Structure 1
Amino acid sequence: MVVETAVGVTLTIPITELSQLALRVNRPGHPPLFRSLQRLNPANLIQDRMRDGTPGPQMRVLRGGRYTQGDLQGDGDGDERPTRLVSLQPFAIGVYEVTFEEYDRFCRDTGHRRPDDQGWGRGDRPVVNVTWVDANRFADWLSRRTGQRYRLPTDAEWEYAARGGTSSRYWWGDDVVPGQANCADCGSLWDGEKSAPVGRFLPNPFGLHDTAGNVFEWVQECWRDDFSIPPGQDAGVGDGKCGKRVIRGGAWSFPHQEVRPANRWRDFPTRRSDDTGFRLVRELRAD
């Protein structure tokens, strides 16, 4: 399926990756509305039920396979090199970043500390001010509540999902297009000020929202300053040898160069920040 956006960007999207038609309505002086119109392919959408019958987060099933990770354009940062060929098994990943509504439920259920929302509001905004440790505790809680295995994505899984099957600088192309993401200079209503509620921007070709900008997202790996270590051998377990963890995707407070899917950043696993949250992977069982 070939579609052209309102700003003239042409996207080629496999029909098997479409799950819904959607409409974005721009309103002068108000945030844009993004509403689902029709579900096309629900087979690749998972939403587990918790023990009490309430729904968990929406997860998109990705087929995995082989792709090239890292700086494909040759003008990225040193920690994005050398590029490496990665092979991934199928997995499911959150359609959205984990929200305050979802995380607050975890806090009520466990007595865990509620993170500060900076006065921006909670609800469907991505949760921020959570550590790498907090994100893993949420994943463990969700796993217990659903009987499925949830965890942080690996660095390679995250980039594969964020690229959406593309090899361009951004998932929508090689140039910055105003209003495609929330970053310090992306041309959105929230630029440089605060996070946006999840799902306010068009999804990438895999149907995932906010993989570019909005908030950084924790992944499993220890921080390394290049790709010299083969994938799968650099996750670490916080044993004192992992001083920093990788965060991905850029944020509302960072410039557009940082929202490239190849871009990598890092932070201390115990640090909380108003520009960092997470999304989860749900492992698929081999039946």
Structure 2
Amino acid sequence: LRPLRHFGQPLAPTPTADYPPRASRFPGGQRWRSLDQALQRVVAERNAVISQWWELFGRTSRDPLRIGGAGPEMVPLPGGSFLMGSANGELKRENDESPLRWVTIRPFAIGRTEVTFAQYDRFAKATGREKPDDEGWGRGDRPVINVSWHDAQVYAQWLSEQTGQRYRLPTEAEWEYAARAGTQTPFWTGGCIHTDQANYDGNYGYNGCGAKTGVHRRRTVPAGSLPANPFSLHEVAGNVYEWTEDCWHDSYAGAPDDDSAWLEAGGGNCARRVVRGGGWDSAPRRLRSANRSEYTTDKSYSYVGIRLARTL
């Protein structure tokens, strides 16, 4: 409960970036002179989300499997609206994080941690699939790695059959909503991040904010071993990138304004899917909540894993 102590008080916006000239336009076409109203809406949405989430807190669940045991621990999240992407003034932002826009999310559940080797290995044993390589770092509670997007899909389908629930990869919008947990800062931790909070390459900095610690673990850490975000989700920044359902697009131009996956429409490249969150070998800028990357669906990597969603 420690990360949640401050939610008893209303939240106020704290500027964390330099914004573009007033001549620039804000998402939706209004000019930047309406920034104050937009920020007030962000705060109102955040407070509403946190209020709803408090009512759900403690109801995390693990669905029983037909073969015995239980699936991943899932955290139910309330619906809400949030600003997806990054503002022009956010440091180290990239063009594919634009345009910044409002997105509405329905309630859903998401894994409290990344899927572990223990969870995935149970599936592999039950289905006769080859177990992925752990790079010599150990299995058990470490996040499963060296799994492709297609592997993640098969695992989600198996869990659905085992539990009678609909497990799936989160959409890109759902992922960012869950990772932000009501924040609008570059990281869920605020304007900076530290290797005590996330697993990344601390030989790189982020605007001199203290992210450059010199600590580089050079491997994954066990799931749930680093602090959780305000939604009680661990390692949403760093450790391993996480597959999402969405096909790759070079920007958000024409993207849905809801929680649906953005697939072929708008020129999406579905041979490459969006991954989020950054990994153990990433510079801190890759751990920003808005940062996007993409990888080939039939390839697997030592720095990409899985966090599942479940439809409510």
Report the TM range for the smaller structure's normalisation: 0.7 to 0.9
Q: C-alpha distance in 2, partners of 1:230/1:241? A: 14
- Residue 285 (structure 2) pairs with residue 257 (structure 1): yes
| 8 A contact 2:79–2:107 mirrored in 1 | yes
Residue 18 (structure 1) shift = 5.9
- Kept after mapping to 1: 8 A contact 2:116/2:142: yes
Q: What are the superposed Cα offsets for residues 23-75 of structure 1, whole Å, 9 maximum, x if unpaired?
A: xxxxxxxxxxxxxxxxx9423x1211111442211100000211110013534
CA distance in structure 2 between the partners assigned to 1:101 and 1:149 by the alignment: 21
> Which residue number corresponds to residue 42 of structure 1?
58
TM-score, structure 1 as length reference = 0.82
**1:175-222 alpha-carbon deviations (Å, 9 max, x no partner):** 233411000115789725101111111100000000000000000011
Decide which of 111, 114, 125 is 2:142's aligned counterpart: 125
More helix per residue:
2
Superposition CA RMSD, Å: 2.4
Bigger share in strand = 1
Question: Which residue number corresponds to residue 54 of structure 1?
Answer: 69
Shift of residue 233 of structure 1?
A: 6.2
Which 10-residue stretch deviates more, 192-201 or 70-79? 70-79
Aligned to 2:208: none
1:104 aligned partner: 121
Larger radius of gyration: 2
Residue ranges of structure 2 left out of the alignment (5+ in a row): 8-46, 203-210
**SS in structure 1 of the partner of residue 271 of structure 2:** coil
Superposition misfits of 4+ residues, deviation over 6 angstroms: 187-190
Give the structure 2 partner of residue 193 of structure 1.
Answer: 218
For the residue of structure 1 that corresponds to 2:242, the secondary structure is strand
The alpha-carbon distance between structure 1 residues 188 and 18, as it changes in their structure 2 partners (threshold 3 A), is: farther
2: CA distance, partners of 1:190 / 1:174: 19
**1:257–1:136 distance in 2 versus 1, CA, 3 Å:** same
Query: Match of 1:220, SS?
Result: strand
**2:6 corresponds to which of 2, 8, 12:** 2
Q: Distance in 2 between matches of 1:119 and 1:89?
A: 40
Matched letter for residue 220 of structure 1: E
Amino acid at match of 1:267: Y
Deviation by residue 1:63-103 (Cα, 9 ceiling, x = unmatched): 02111100135341011000121111100000000000000
Q: Structure 1 residues 114 and 195 mapped into 2: Cα distance closer, same or farther (>3 Å)?
A: same
1:211 is aligned to 236
Candidates 176, 183, 195, aligned match of 2:200: 183
Question: CA separation in 2, counterparts of 1:241 and 1:264?
Answer: 14
Query: What's the counterpart of residue 249 of structure 2?
Result: 224
- Describe the shift of the 1:14–1:182 C-alpha distance in structure 2 as closer, same or farther (beyond 3 A): same
Residue identity (%)? 43
- Please give the secondary structure, in 2, of the residue aligned with 1:244: strand
Summarize deviations over 1:109-147 as a string: whole Å, max 9, x none: 001121000000000000000000000000000000001
Determine helix, strand or coil for the equivalent of 2:153. helix
CA contact (8 A) 1:182 1:214 kept: yes
Tell whether the 8 Å contact from 2:65 to 2:162 is kept in structure 1 after alignment. yes
2:270 aligned counterpart, secondary structure:
coil
Write the distance in 1 (CA, Å) between the matches of 2:261 and 2:193: 34
Q: Which residue of 1 aligns with 2:155?
A: 138
Aligned pairs, number: 253
Rounded to whole Å, the distance in 1 between the matches of 2:78 and 2:53 is 10
Secondary structure in structure 1 of the residue aligned to 2:286? helix
> In the alignment, is the contact (CA less than 8 A) between 1:164 and 1:171 conserved in 2?
yes
Which piece of structure 1 moves more, 253-262 or 50-59? 50-59
Change (3 A) 1:105 1:188: farther
The aligned residue for residue 27 of structure 2 is: none
Distance in 2 of aligned mates of 1:87 and 1:230: 12
Q: What does 1:54-73 align with in structure 2 at a 5 Å threshold?
A: 54-72=69-87, 73=89
Q: Which amino acid aligns with 1:222?
A: C
Kindly state the Cα deviation for residue 243 of structure 1 after the two structures are TM-superposed. Answer: 2.7
